[in-house]
Copies of this chain bind each other. A is one copy, B any other.
């Protein structure tokens, strides 16, 4: 069981890749901070100050400008695929795997997860295309 979300962004793939891996940029569209540049094998601490939350991710694989795979949240595997298109746009795909179908709360877990990824991707689009900050506005 997995959750897949995909967004088209009018920017080249290498700029979008940098937005994820560069700790100076993540605070413009997702977490408030990232402890260091994302590289394969690293464990990175992500903080979300507005929600008083933090967690670690373990980066399994990086393909420059194309793919990022990491583990978080109880060994859920997240694959971010960055696909450059012909006319200068890019499709960003986020797939999260590892949901336990037998858990009685799996539907609400999937919905929360979907909410988070779609929100992040739309914030990323706003930041990349217009430089605007739409973060920290989901109300739970």
The answer to whether B125 and A8 have CB atoms under 8 Å apart is no
Give residues of chain A (13-41) contacting chain B, Cβ–Cβ below 8 Å.
none
The answer to whether B110 and A137 have CB atoms under 8 Å apart is no
Chain A interface residue bracket vs B: 20 to 34
Task: State how many copies of this chain the complex holds.
Answer: 2
The answer to whether A137 and B125 have CB atoms under 8 Å apart is yes
Instruction: Give the chain B neighbours of A111 by CB distance below 8 A.
Output: 3, 110-111, 114
Q: How far is the CA of A123 from the CA of B111 in the complex (A)?
A: 19
A56 within 8 A of B: no
The answer to whether A138 and B7 have CB atoms under 8 Å apart is yes
A62 within 8 A of B: no
Interface set of A (CB-CB < 8 Å, partner B): 3, 5-9, 91, 93, 107, 110-111, 114-115, 118-119, 122-123, 125-126, 129-130, 132, 134, 137-140
Top 6 nearest A-B pairs (CB, nearest first) are A6-B139, A122-B122, A118-B118, A130-B132, A8-B137, A114-B114
